[in-house]
Amino acid sequence: MCAGARSKRGRSCVGGATRGKRVPRAVREQQMLDAAVRAFARSGYQHASMDDIAELAGVSKPLVYLYLRSKEELFAACIRREVAALVAAVRAAVERGAPADRQLWSGLSGFFAHTAAHPDGWTLLHVQARTHGRPFAREVAAMREELVTFVTQLLAAAARDNAARDQLARADVSAIAHALVGAAESLADWAGDQGGPSAQEAAATLMDFAWAGLGNVLRGEGWSCEAVSHQAAYDG
Amino acid sequence: MCAGARSKRGRSCVGGATRGKRVPRAVREQQMLDAAVRAFARSGYQHASMDDIAELAGVSKPLVYLYLRSKEELFAACIRREVAALVAAVRAAVERGAPADRQLWSGLSGFFAHTAAHPDGWTLLHVQARTHGRPFAREVAAMREELVTFVTQLLAAAARDNAARDQLARADVSAIAHALVGAAESLADWAGDQGGPSAQEAAATLMDFAWAGLGNVLRGEGWSCEAVSHQAAYDG
Amino acid sequence: MCAGARSKRGRSCVGGATRGKRVPRAVREQQMLDAAVRAFARSGYQHASMDDIAELAGVSKPLVYLYLRSKEELFAACIRREVAALVAAVRAAVERGAPADRQLWSGLSGFFAHTAAHPDGWTLLHVQARTHGRPFAREVAAMREELVTFVTQLLAAAARDNAARDQLARADVSAIAHALVGAAESLADWAGDQGGPSAQEAAATLMDFAWAGLGNVLRGEGWSCEAVSHQAAYDG
Amino acid sequence: MCAGARSKRGRSCVGGATRGKRVPRAVREQQMLDAAVRAFARSGYQHASMDDIAELAGVSKPLVYLYLRSKEELFAACIRREVAALVAAVRAAVERGAPADRQLWSGLSGFFAHTAAHPDGWTLLHVQARTHGRPFAREVAAMREELVTFVTQLLAAAARDNAARDQLARADVSAIAHALVGAAESLADWAGDQGGPSAQEAAATLMDFAWAGLGNVLRGEGWSCEAVSHQAAYDG
DNA sequence: TATGAATGAGCGTTCATTCAT
DNA sequence: CATGAATGAACGCTCATTCAT
């Protein structure tokens, strides 16, 4: 593979890309996106040059421009593809119709499994996209909001079954959802390092940790800085 | 202020900087760091040019190089300053000698208060520093590890008083600490947007949410995906 | 020629370069080297800017970098080309198989003819290359050593036929070769000025001057500062 | 010495310079010239910065400007000083009134002795001054012309005593003088390297080599490319 | 479909030089 | 006599982008 490549720096093409062959557009585009996601994730948006990406994709630079117009649009296309893939993975993992906690757990499992399986994609979304200009950050923020909304709905569903539902302000639920998503992201990063937990472990830990806290809040029994109620947490 | 400025693009200087005046080196350096933190946080490392920073600081570019050697060293100096400031803020906020939960709460309050008061610094650390090269990311990672360690110790202290201490694996505590820090970061970001909660609210929500979960884990009563034990969370 | 040139300073391109046309890489490279040799020789390494050279070559600056990587490599390429050309010219001029003196004379003729025909190249080697960094100087020194060695061999060949061969220390031959090459260089410089001799004249003068001195040394009849033997030189 | 120096790179001052002391102008100027000659010779004109020179001289930069106006004038002053020193050394070495060959020999001895004793000065004149702009090269060329003229006069004096004087064209003498000076320079360079000859050896070798050749030319018995007269050189 | 050739624009960096004290 | 503070101008180099084929 990568037969005709005369890579200046000896790098080979990504995936099964073979240089010089006539290949349908759709396939070439995916090759380019593969290369770009990898390059952007590993080198950063600025440091990854169009030359690098073209070479990694096994095509000439003008072809990249022909298909993807500009570096910004290429980056945007990468983000869109990875966002779609992550959302799809989470959606597919969620067990619809199951109780809220089970849905949350399955969604988290899917999330951790996907980020672990696609580290470059996760880095692209979590690290690179936020750093380079509003439009990209917005795209990721939109996805994040989608996830937060999904979590919020699950929390609301749980609350619906609960006697204390009225005491639950919408803002509280949102805040908890944000905290939960942030915790998940943090664990996903940590899981990416060596020494971190597996996807299953991460999901389990987070559920252990979060669900009780949620119940607590729903019952209106939150920890209070005024009270000495912190005793409640570890007293039997 | 900014009297003699002949800003090419009409931008004014940051802070109380006045262009053209003779100022002692230490003062100028702080002005430069102020400008650089702002520029880096808002435009990103690559997009913020040394020209921009110099102009924002109200000095000429060579002076920036004379005092701070290079763009990389300038960025590093910014990160170091902001890391030190954030760590100091948290340290100062923690009520030493208080019970673990109270310490955690006060630390979180300090954290949220500082990030809210210094949004550019927080963006620099949380968003920009991770993206641009290992050395910077390492510096921030070290700070993060320091916070995680601090949280871990608090959790361990809480566990020590608890009957179920033996059931608590070290890894679990670490994971929870990571989750907690991630949740805090997420809330700090959210609080930075308009519409987000205040520092006090964020700290309170997170404590509500986290402390119960922690107690739950400590009691070994974690949510389990096999059991229907999720009922326990919202059942009375 | 130099049709589309919009030279900022009104300078025209070197040689037959026409700006803007698509030209094969090999040709462009030679045009660039032509321009660079000229610029370096006339302005010096530091004073000749890459902008100047690009303009003189009738191309844009990035193209120079694309083909020749950096100013240093460009300079090195110039030196290598001129070294090769000078050595080739001398080699081609030498009449192999002829007696040593005839070989020396023909070599000198070739040397003077080439330096006179390529004054910029000669300046580059003799004046500029020695001044700017070890690697360049080394390259020229290597060529010089090659010439010195060649001369040394000729002198040794002459000595071999001579009865006094044993009295000739190796160091003496080396020293004479160095002196001879230095004399040739000096004459080449002088011939470059207006008013200087032609190549033929220079070669003849130097031979007149050198060959007798050489015979003298070979016979062990050198001038001596102690003796009044200087009389021998101008006495009949 | 060099007491108050806060050299950024730990370099000490040249000679006996002591930083910060009040020192008469003439002395300071010589310190600066010492430093500049050294810096220019070793780093080249461009690479030696005014900061380096000031630091090496143990003074602040503005003082250098106060005394020597500009980098170009500083360089010119260095050249003038070194030219004067070299010319003075040669003049002092020449035994006036002695026969021409003895004068030439003593002059050469003085030349080699001085260049060996002041390698930075010699490098400045022979390598640096020619490379950087016309005015400097002219200054050195003038000195060279002075030496060539002196040699020419000696040769002419020798010829005057010779029967064949009429056959000696002025151009020939000039050419021989140029060759001789070039040979001397080449030997001076070579003597600067390790492994090269001493001043005395260089002078002796050059006289051995040159004086016979000169006599030969004066007698009109030069080597000829047409004749097979090269035999004459090494035949008894 | 695919590419070799070419460029405009900008950035990081350096340095000779000058005030104000 | 001597200097810390400050800058205008230029240069090496890179890169996204576009023709012409």
In the three-class reduction of DSSP (H, G, I as helix; E, B as strand; rest coil), residue C127 is classed as helix
Q: Poorest-confidence range of A17-31, B14-28, C4-18, C38-52? A: C4-18
Distance, CA of D115 to CA of D185 (rounded, Å) = 9
Give just the sign of the alpha carbon dihedral D30, D32, D34, D37.
negative
Task: Name the strand (E) or helix (H) holding C201.
Answer: helix C199-218
Distance, CA of C110 to CA of C104 (rounded, Å) = 10
Mean per-residue pLDDT for D206-212?
81
Structure tokens at C179: 């002196």
Distance, CA of C136 to CA of C128 (rounded, Å) = 9
DSSP string, C20-44: T----HHHHHHHHHHHHHHHHHHH-
Nucleotide of closest approach to A65 (CA, C1'): F17
> pLDDT-based confidence at A223, cuts 50/70/90?
confident
Measured between beta carbons, which residues in chain B are less than 8 angstroms from residue A211?
213, 216, 223, 230, 233
Distance, CA of A197 to CA of A199 (rounded, Å) = 7
Measured between beta carbons, which residues in chain D are less than 8 angstroms from residue C142?
none
B1-68 is classed in which CATH architecture? Orthogonal Bundle (1.10)
Strand E–CB C71 distance below 7 A: no
Neighbours of chain C (3+ CB pairs under 8 A): D
Distance, CA of D113 to CA of D99 (rounded, Å) = 21
**DSSP single-letter state for residue C163:** G
Mean per-residue pLDDT for A168-176?
71
Please answer yes or no on whether C202 and D130 come within 8 Å at the CB atom: no
pLDDT per residue over B177-222, tens digit each? 888 999 999 999 988 876 778 888 888 888 887 877 777 766 766 6
CA distances to A187, D43, D68, D70, D86 from D65, rounded to whole Å, are 62, 20, 5, 6, 26
Name the amino acid, one letter, at A153: Q
Structure tokens at C172: 């003496």
Contact B128, B116 (CB under 8 A): no
Distance, CA of A72 to CA of A99 (rounded, Å) = 42
Distance, CA of C188 to CA of C114 (rounded, Å) = 10
pLDDT at C16: 58
Measured between beta carbons, which residues in chain C are less than 8 angstroms from residue D222?
204, 207-209, 212
> pLDDT-based confidence at C8, cuts 50/70/90?
very low
Report yes or no: A180 at the B interface, CB cutoff 8 Å: yes
Q: Poorest-confidence range of A5-14, A128-137, D51-60? A: A5-14
pLDDT at C191 over 90: no
CATH class for the region spanning B76-234: mainly alpha
Q: What is the dihedral of CA A85, A90, A95, A99, to 10 degrees?
A: -160
Strand E–CB D65 distance below 7 A: yes
Better-scored residue on pLDDT, B137 or B11: B137
Strand E–CB B67 distance below 7 A: no
| C44: nearest CB among D105, D132, D202 | D132
The residues, any chain, with a CB within 8 Å of residue B230's CB and separated by 6 or more, are A99, A101, A102, A211, B223
Name the amino acid, one letter, at D111: F
pLDDT per residue over A63-91, tens digit each? 999 999 999 999 999 999 999 999 999 99
Task: Name the strand (E) or helix (H) holding C191.
Answer: helix C170-192
CATH of D78-234, one of 3.40.50.280, 1.10.357.10, 3.40.1190.10, 3.40.1500.10: 1.10.357.10
- What are the residue boundaries of the structural domains of chain C, listed by start? 1-68, 76-234
Q: Poorest-confidence range of C38-42, D188-192, D209-213? A: D209-213
Name the amino acid, one letter, at A192: G
Give just the sign of the alpha carbon dihedral A152, A155, A160, A164.
negative
pLDDT at B230 over 60: no
pLDDT per residue over A26-39, tens digit each? 999 999 999 999 99
Distance, CA of C22 to CA of C25 (rounded, Å) = 9
Strand E–CB D72 distance below 7 A: yes
**Could you identify the residue written with the tokens 């994709």?**
A57
Burial of C101 (0-12, 13-18, 19+ CB in 10 A): buried
Burial of C232 (0-12, 13-18, 19+ CB in 10 A): middle
pLDDT at C50 over 70: yes
> pLDDT-based confidence at D193, cuts 50/70/90?
confident
pLDDT at C229 over 50: no
Distance, CA of D190 to CA of D184 (rounded, Å) = 10
Query: C142: closest CA among C130, C152, C155?
Result: C130
Structure tokens at A217: 């809040």
Report the Cα–Cα distance between both ends of chain B, in Å, rounded. 63
What are the backbone dihedrals phi and psi of residue A189, each rounded to the nearest 5 degrees, phi first? Answer: -60, -50
Report yes or no: C192 at the D interface, CB cutoff 8 Å: no
Query: A178: closest CA among A198, A154, A149, A207?
Result: A149
Residue environment code for A42-58, b if the CB has 16+ CB neighbours within 10 A, otherwise e: eebbbebebebbbbbbb
pLDDT at B175: 82
pLDDT at B168 over 60: no
Mean pLDDT score of chain B? 82
What are the backbone dihedrals phi and psi of residue B227, each rounded to the nearest 5 degrees, phi first? Answer: -70, 165
pLDDT at A157: 79
Q: How many helices (H) and strands (E) does chain B have?
A: 10, 0
Distance, CA of A10 to CA of A199 (rounded, Å) = 35
Mean per-residue pLDDT for D127-142?
90
Contact B193, A144 (CB under 8 A): no
Mean per-residue pLDDT for C153-158?
79
**Distance between C213 CA and the closest CA of chain D, angstroms:** 4
Q: Poorest-confidence range of B75-79, C144-148, D142-146, D164-168? A: D164-168
Contact B9, B95 (CB under 8 A): no
> pLDDT-based confidence at A158, cuts 50/70/90?
confident
Q: In this structure, how many other beta carbons lie within 10 angstroms of the beta carbon of residue B205?
A: 24
Name the amino acid, one letter, at C94: V
Nucleotide of closest approach to A47 (CA, C1'): F15
Report yes or no: A192 at the B interface, CB cutoff 8 Å: no
Contact C90, C108 (CB under 8 A): no
Query: C142: closest CA among C194, C79, C192, C205?
Result: C79
Contact A79, A136 (CB under 8 A): yes
Distance, CA of B67 to CA of B21 (rounded, Å) = 16
* Chain centre to alpha carbon of residue B148: 12
DSSP string, B90-142: HHHHS-TTS-HHHHHHHHHHHHHHHHHH-HHHHHIIIIITTTS-HHHHHHHHH
The residues, any chain, with a CB within 8 Å of residue D235's CB and separated by 6 or more, are none
Structure tokens at D151: 């040699």
The residues, any chain, with a CB within 8 Å of residue A233's CB and separated by 6 or more, are A223, B101, B158, B211, B212, B214, B215, B218
Verify D-C touch: 3 or more CB pairs within 8 A: yes
Report yes or no: D163 at the C interface, CB cutoff 8 Å: yes
Q: What is the phi-psi region of residue A23: left when phi exceeds 0, alpha when psi lies from -120 to 50, beta otherwise?
A: beta
pLDDT at D233 over 50: no
Burial of A120 (0-12, 13-18, 19+ CB in 10 A): middle
Overall size of chain B counted in residues: 236
**Nearest residue in chain C measured CA to CA from D196:** C175
In percent, the amount of chain D with pLDDT more than 90 equals 46
Better-scored residue on pLDDT, B115 or A104: B115
> pLDDT-based confidence at A150, cuts 50/70/90?
confident
Better-scored residue on pLDDT, A211 or D27: D27
Give just the sign of the alpha carbon dihedral B63, B66, B67, B68.
positive
CA distances to A25, A118, B107, C129 from A30, rounded to whole Å, are 9, 15, 47, 51
Find the helix packing angle between B199-218 and B170-192, rounded to 10°.
160
Distance, CA of A144 to CA of D8 (rounded, Å) = 51
Question: Nucleotides of chain F within 7 Å of a protein C-beta?
Answer: 1-21
Please answer yes or no on whether D204 and C210 come within 8 Å at the CB atom: no
**Nearest residue in chain A measured CA to CA from B102:** A225
> pLDDT-based confidence at D175, cuts 50/70/90?
confident
Contact C191, C115 (CB under 8 A): yes
Please answer yes or no on whether C216 and D208 come within 8 Å at the CB atom: yes
Q: What is the phi-psi region of residue C144: left when phi exceeds 0, alpha when psi lies from -120 to 50, beta otherwise?
A: alpha
Distance, CA of D196 to CA of D198 (rounded, Å) = 7
> pLDDT-based confidence at C152, cuts 50/70/90?
confident
CATH of the domain spanning A79-234: 1.10.357.10
pLDDT at D176 over 80: yes
> pLDDT-based confidence at B61, cuts 50/70/90?
very high
| A182: nearest CB among B182, B207, B215 | B182
Measured between beta carbons, which residues in chain C are less than 8 angstroms from residue D105?
223, 225
Please answer yes or no on whether B204 and A225 come within 8 Å at the CB atom: yes
Measured between beta carbons, which residues in chain B are less than 8 angstroms from residue A179?
183-184, 186-187, 205-206, 209-210
Mean per-residue pLDDT for D218-232?
56
DSSP string, chain A: --TT---TT-PPPSTT--TTS---HHHHHHHHHHHHHHHHHHH-TTTS-HHHHHHHHTS-HHHHHHHH-SHHHHHHHHHHHHHHHHHHHHHHHS-TTS-HHHHHHHHHHHHHHHHHH-HHHHHIIIIITTTS-HHHHHHHHHHHHHHHHHHHHHHHHHHHTSGGGGG--HHHHHHHHHHHHHHHHHHHHHHHSTTS--HHHHHHHHHHHHHHHHHHHHTT----SSSSTHHHHH--
pLDDT at B71: 97
Give just the sign of the alpha carbon dihedral B79, B82, B86, B89.
positive
